[in-house]
């Protein structure tokens, strides 16, 4: 094989990868199993699934369709969990990319700033999973440190983008520490993880302000 043929093969492979990224696999539900998604519940259980179109991997973004072909949601696929899909979005035009996570995190932080005064406390839950449209993600603030839990295949896949956005969006951040050492990760096929993700290692004790 010539260098030109090798280059062509690499180019085609990259093009296929881009197309696969732009065209998520689809999960088709059994008849009459779309009600929870129509009510904006973000979970799809394994028993509701009829078949797949494509070959999604753990954490991949997939489209969820009703039995009649109607588009319902876009979410993260988890082959090991009984919760087979956790929906990121119910808007078909919304792309799941780093900008999506930055936008959702910004919304969560803006909400806390409206209801929690920094003059009162600097310790609170910044992101509460499904409640903030980010299933499987928990983020708590303690003074100048943030502690994050990535509890689903989807949040594990997008961990780097999430950490980058948290660093960009939270001023005076000393560090981000991961405490993904809970049993629910095993159900997602994920191993426990603990350690520094960004910035300084937190001290043994962190002083916070409350009331």
Predicted confidence (pLDDT) at residue 191 exceeds the cutoff of 90: yes
Predicted pLDDT of residue 148: 98
Predicted pLDDT of residue 154: 98
Predicted pLDDT of residue 204: 85
| Residues 89 and 37: beta-carbon distance below 8 Å | no
Predicted pLDDT of residue 208: 87
DSSP string, 72-128: EEEEEE-TTSSEEEEEEES-TT---SHHHHHHHHHHHHHHHHHHS-TTTBSEEEEEE
Predicted confidence (pLDDT) at residue 13 exceeds the cutoff of 60: no
| Helical spans, DSSP H, in 23-57 | 35-38
Predicted confidence (pLDDT) at residue 206 exceeds the cutoff of 70: yes
What percent of the residues of the chain are helix, what percent strand, and what percent coil, each to the nearest 5? 35, 30, 35
Predicted pLDDT of residue 142: 94
The pLDDT tens digits for 142-188 are 999 999 999 999 999 999 999 999 999 999 899 999 999 999 999 99
| Residues 133 and 104: beta-carbon distance below 8 Å | yes
**Distance between CA atoms of residues 31 and 37, nearest Å:** 13
Structure tokens at 193: 């993880």
Predicted pLDDT of residue 65: 98
pTM: predicted TM-score of the whole model, two decimal places: 0.87
Predicted pLDDT of residue 211: 67
The pLDDT tens digits for 38-73 are 999 999 999 999 999 999 999 999 999 999 999 999
Q: Which residue has the higher pLDDT, 63 or 20?
A: 63
Predicted pLDDT of residue 119: 83
| Closest CA relative to residue 137, chosen from 93, 184, 186, 90 | 184
């Amino acid at each position: 094989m010539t260098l030109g043929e090798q280059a062509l093969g690499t180019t085609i492979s990259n093009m296929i990868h881009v197309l696969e990224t732009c065209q998520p696999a689809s999960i088709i539900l059994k008849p009459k199993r779309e009600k929870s998604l129509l009510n904006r519940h973000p979970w799809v259980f394994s028993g509701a699934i009829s078949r797949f179109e494509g070959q999604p991997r753990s954490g991949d973004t997939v489209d969820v369709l009703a039995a009649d072909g109607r588009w319902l949601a876009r979410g993260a696929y988890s082959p090991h969990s009984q919760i087979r899909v956790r929906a990121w979005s119910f808007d078909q035009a919304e792309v799941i990319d780093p900008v999506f996570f930055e936008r959702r995190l910004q919304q969560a932080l803006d909400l806390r700033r409206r209801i929690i005064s920094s003059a009162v406390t600097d310790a609170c839950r910044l992101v509460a999973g499904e409640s903030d449209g980010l299933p499987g993600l928990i983020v708590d603030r303690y003074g100048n440190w943030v502690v994050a839990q990535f509890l689903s295949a989807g949040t594990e896949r997008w961990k780097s983008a999430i950490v980058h956005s948290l660093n960009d969006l939270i001023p005076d951040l000393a560090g981000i520490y991961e405490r993904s050492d809970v049993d629910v990760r095993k159900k997602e096929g994920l191993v426990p993880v603990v350690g520094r993700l960004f910035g300084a290692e937190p001290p043994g004790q962190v002083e916070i302000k409350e009331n």
